Amino acid sequence: MPRLILSPRLAASRRFTFLVLLGGILAGLVVSGGFLLTQGMGLSDLASQFVGYTFGNPAGLDQTLTRSIPLILVGLSVAVCLKVKFWNIGVEGQLWAGAMAATAVSLYHIGPEAVRLWVMCIAALLGGGLWCGVCALARIRLRANEVVTTLLMNYVAYMLAQQLLYGAWRNPQDSFPVSKVFAPGETLALLGFGHVHAGIFFSLGAALFCWWLCGFARVGYMAKAVAANPAAARAVGVPAGAVVLLMATLGGALSGLAGFTIVCGEEHRLTQFVGNDFIFPSIVIAYLARSNPLGVVVAAIAIAALYTAGDSLKAFYQLPGATVLTIEAILLLCVCCAEFWLRYQLGWAKSTKVAP
Amino acid sequence: MEYELSRIQRERFDEISKLAVRLAEVEKSFGPRPALAGANFSLEWGEVHALLGENGAGKSTLMNVLAGFYTADAGILEVDGEAARFETPSAAADAGIGMVHQHFQLVGPLSVLENLRLACARRAGWRSKAEALRAMETLGKELGFRLDPSARVDEMAVSDQQKLEIMKVLLAGARILVLDEPTAVLTEQEAQSALGLARSLARSGRAVVLITHKLRDVLGFSDRVTVMRAGRTIIDGAASEGMTAASLSDAMVGSAPVLEMPPLADGRQFKPDMLKVQALSVPASAHGVALTEIDFAVQGGEIFGVAGIGGNGQAELVEALIGVRALTSGAVLFDGVDMPPSPEARRERGLRYIPADRMGMGLFGELPLNVNISLPRLLGGGAEKKWLVTKSWMNGLARDAISQFEVAGAQVDLPARLLSGGNAQKLMLAREFTGGMEILIAHSPTRGLDIRAVQAVQARLRAAAASGCAVLLISEDLDEIMQLSDRVAVMSHGRMSPAENVAAVDRARIGRLMLEMH
């Protein structure tokens, strides 16, 4: 009698890996759809909200693309760090650090006015890089677990921003806890499509850079080696500590850049809300993209679309904001579960001859 | 007229002829790769049965089928004359089959007794610590050794851990024992006593399978021998007596040509003090040995052999030489100049390293062969590719390495972990032997390899020396040291004896140095 047997899979091809990922996402979408149906939505509403509004409508598309700009960057941030198995749970802190650094350049008029925007950009990169680099250094030198340190650095950055917004940087005109509005030369230009601003070039450029770095640069291969076997990497002469520090600092800088695109492209000043709700989506995006920088772009746009749809769910169906979070979690869980098939395979046992 | 057996005679005859295990026409594939292609094996009660074969011949796979770790795709399995099929190791254990794996399956931080209770309490029916202790003491008496029940397992010698593993399977009720390369991890003396133990287990009526690729184990300690090659049985249970090393190795490697050792030229030019170590001291790490005042020098063009029982500071010495372990005092000189401290700088100066633990310190198991091969060429100031590392460049390097070093069953995008031991070592050599090698440190380079791979690796070491490289060979295999080295020193308790010419040394004295030097 034929029997099904489960056995370990020795190696999975790239194509199969991609199919498994796709299957996981599809399963997640089906389960999420079922979840929304139980929340009182009809099937036709699902189609119109998710596909129609998000992609078929200029306002929805505008919102999705604008939101995807920082999401791409924080997704890249987590993905780049994951290349050296450095779990960056601190994209919000790094984003706050970048936003504060850029704002400081504007408030204190640092650098010539003609290149002020670029100085702000570099300041944001440095701020974010520093915020994550410190955690990498703590891991290399003191063996401090980066999950804990990057997580806690989120609060440090947030509290620092609050301190500044309620103190030195408080808007002198109306005393609201927001900074002064940036001068016109200190903001990213709109591209003539709703709120979409020039920050999208920074995001796409960063994705291309990371794609080159991970797939074609020496350091990308060193990172692979450090992630696969740190002891062997050191023995063969890879400067393992420096590679981890470099990748983590770069990851932090990307989150800092996300802060720059928000304050210079969307808010045009530092507000209390620039760095909220990025940690969980950044991890989901990096995971869905399997840490592939170009995949991050696709995943970030998809997650941004989910937020757009979530906004209309909030407005028209009175569903709470947590709905979107729930759907993200369902997607992540389904993809994780699907990865079981990368390690195991199901097959028919060949018939066994039994001794006479 | 037909000869009739009486009922009693017939029962007696059945009992005698009952085999402990019969495996026939067993097939097993992992993915598209057949590991067993019709293997046969029979085991009688009361014998030590050696199962011999090269790496990847299917010995361990066949025994894993017997012990329930794998299920066969096809074939017959009988235990004690009854058809059987084990879906799980625990089903096999219920039938009295116990396997001692090469990598012990013990819980390090727990004590000896805790490990035994954890593994056997249910099967042996112990209800208290005292009962377990009694059972352990009784078995210890039968086997003729005693382990401290309260000793922490990760602090015990490897040979004691092995004894504990054997106790574990016996106390769980095993009457058929499979020992997977029991002597691979042991020193000469320990190996003798482990093999003696296997014999006494067989004499007590149990059946013992000895998986090995050492001819010595077969000729000296087994009753019968089965030889496997490429998933098939070549010699099916012949009496070991009368077998010769030549007949066994022929069966093992088949008609394929065996690599000849190229003789080293007599007129070799030695370049003095290419690698010089002066009064090197290193503090002890958590479970390691401290190195004290180590002095030696390796000439270019020679193989300098360091003999010694594993765990006497060899790993620490190697780590200090490649630059991943800091020295407290002393110096490492390369051609009279202080070695730079970092591993990457040392590598650039021509230092190459073959680690004892290939997958741990050498290769990247999850990464494909092309990345494994190209990585060192991407490091340091002399990197061959600076800004654009292409797949085609890496594939070219990998293809060259695969053909030059005869890595069998390899494709450029295969993860390194899927290579067998011998082929992984060839990949390792291919990577280390490129780009200006001047000093080669080889730590147990042939451990766990089959005959042909051993010869290939040894030939490469000799070729390296012949080309003027300074080769430091650290090995626990004294035969290998004596066969390959020009000069020999012995490591013991973190110290090194003065070097001597290999022609002038006497094995017995080396053996004493290994054990006694303090």
The residue segments making up the domain with residue A93 are 70-303
CA separation for the pair B224, B228 (Å, rounded)? 14
Sign of the C-alpha dihedral, residues A270, A273, A276, A278? negative
- Per-residue pLDDT averaged across B235-252, rounded? 82
Q: Which helix (H) or strand (E) holds B164?
A: helix B158-171
| Beta partners for residue B282, in sequence order | B291
- Sequence-distant (≥ 6) Cβ neighbours of residue A195 within 8 angstroms: A62, A63, A66, A266
Rounded to the nearest angstrom, the gap between the alpha carbon of residue B292 and the centroid of all alpha carbons in its chain is: 28
CA separation for the pair A197, A6 (Å, rounded)? 51
* pLDDT value for A317: 80
With H, G, I as helix, E, B as strand and everything else as coil, classify residue B330.
strand
* Contact at CB, A11 and B30, closer than 8 angstroms: no
- The b/e string for B449-488 (b: 16+ C-beta within 10 A; e otherwise) is bbbbbbbbbbebbbebbbebbbbbbbbbbbebbeebbbbb
Which residues 208-227 of A are in CB contact (within 8 Å) with B?
Answer: 216-218, 220-222, 224-225
Q: Is the pLDDT assigned to residue A131 strictly greater than 70? A: yes
**pLDDT category of residue A356 using cuts at 50, 70 and 90:** very low
* Contact at CB, B379 and A236, closer than 8 angstroms: yes
As a whole-number percent, the residues of chain B with pLDDT over 70 amount to 90
- Per-residue pLDDT averaged across B159-172, rounded? 91
A238 belongs to a structural domain: yes
* pLDDT value for B250: 74
Q: Indicate the residue type of B91.
A: A
A222 belongs to a structural domain: yes
Sign of the C-alpha dihedral, residues B371, B372, B378, B383? negative
Put simply, whether B80 touches A (Cβ < 8 Å) is no
* pLDDT value for B267: 67
* pLDDT value for B259: 45
Q: Is the pLDDT assigned to residue B7 strictly greater than 70? A: no
- From B323's Cα to the closest Cα of chain A, the distance in A is 8
Q: Is the pLDDT assigned to residue B4 strictly greater than 70? A: no
Summarize pLDDT for B67-113 with one digit per residue, the tens. 998 989 999 999 988 898 898 888 999 999 999 987 788 998 999 99
Residues of A in contact with B385 (CB under 8 A): 218
CA separation for the pair B317, B340 (Å, rounded)? 16
A35 belongs to a structural domain: no
Order the strands of the B337-338 sheet from edge to edge: B291-300, B271-282, B329-334, B337-338
Residue of B nearest to A243 (CA): B379
* Contact at CB, B380 and A222, closer than 8 angstroms: no
> Strand runs (DSSP E) across chain A, as ranges?
4-8, 344-348
Phi-psi region of B330 (alpha: psi -120 to 50; beta: other; left: phi over 0): left
- From A224's Cα to the closest Cα of chain B, the distance in A is 8
Pair type for strands B224-229 and B48-53: parallel
Residues of B in contact with A15 (CB under 8 A): none
Task: Kindly report the number of other CB atoms within 10 A of residue A238's CB atom.
Answer: 29
Residue B504 or A88, more confident: A88
* pLDDT value for A87: 96
| Virtual torsion, Cα B22, B26, B30, B34, nearest 10 deg | 130
Residues of B in contact with A238 (CB under 8 A): 344, 375, 379
Task: Kindly report the number of other CB atoms within 10 A of residue A18's CB atom.
Answer: 13
- The b/e string for B96-111 (b: 16+ C-beta within 10 A; e otherwise) is bbbbbbeebebeeeeb
Tokens 């020295």 sit at which residue? B327
Domains contained in chain A, number: 1
CA separation for the pair B395, B301 (Å, rounded)? 32
Put simply, whether A352 touches B (Cβ < 8 Å) is yes
- Per-residue pLDDT averaged across B47-66, rounded? 87
Put simply, whether A13 touches B (Cβ < 8 Å) is no
Structure ipTM: 0.85
Rounded to the nearest angstrom, the gap between the alpha carbon of residue B74 and the centroid of all alpha carbons in its chain is: 30
CA separation for the pair B518, B500 (Å, rounded)? 18
A350 belongs to a structural domain: no
Which residues 321-350 of B are in CB contact (within 8 Å) with A?
Answer: 322, 324, 342-344, 346-348
Task: Please tell me which of the candidates A220, A237, A352 has its beta carbon nearest to residue B376.
Answer: A237
- From B327's Cα to the closest Cα of chain A, the distance in A is 16
A36 belongs to a structural domain: no
Rounded to the nearest angstrom, the gap between the alpha carbon of residue B196 and the centroid of all alpha carbons in its chain is: 20
Phi-psi region of A40 (alpha: psi -120 to 50; beta: other; left: phi over 0): left
Residue ranges and CATH numbers for the domains of chain B are: 17-253 (3.40.50.300), 271-516 (3.40.50.300)
CA separation for the pair A306, A300 (Å, rounded)? 10
Residue of A nearest to B428 (CA): A236
Residues of B in contact with A355 (CB under 8 A): 24, 76, 78, 83
Q: Considering only CA atoms, which of B94, B45, B36 is closest in space to residue B63?
A: B36
Q: Indicate the residue type of B137.
A: E
**pLDDT category of residue B6 using cuts at 50, 70 and 90:** low
Which residues 200-239 of B are in CB contact (within 8 Å) with A?
Answer: none
Tokens 């941030």 sit at which residue? A77
Q: Which helix (H) or strand (E) holds B315?
A: helix B314-322
- Per-residue pLDDT averaged across A263-285, rounded? 93
Q: Considering only CA atoms, which of B14, B83, B88, B46 is closest in space to residue B176?
A: B46
Rounded to the nearest angstrom, the gap between the alpha carbon of residue B313 and the centroid of all alpha carbons in its chain is: 19
Reading the block at residue B381, the tokens are 């100031």
- Per-residue pLDDT averaged across B286-309, rounded? 87
B456, B257 contact by CB (below 8 A): no
A9 belongs to a structural domain: no
Put simply, whether A10 touches B (Cβ < 8 Å) is yes
Reading the block at residue A132, the tokens are 């994550």
| Beta partners for residue A197, in sequence order | A190
CA separation for the pair B440, B454 (Å, rounded)? 17
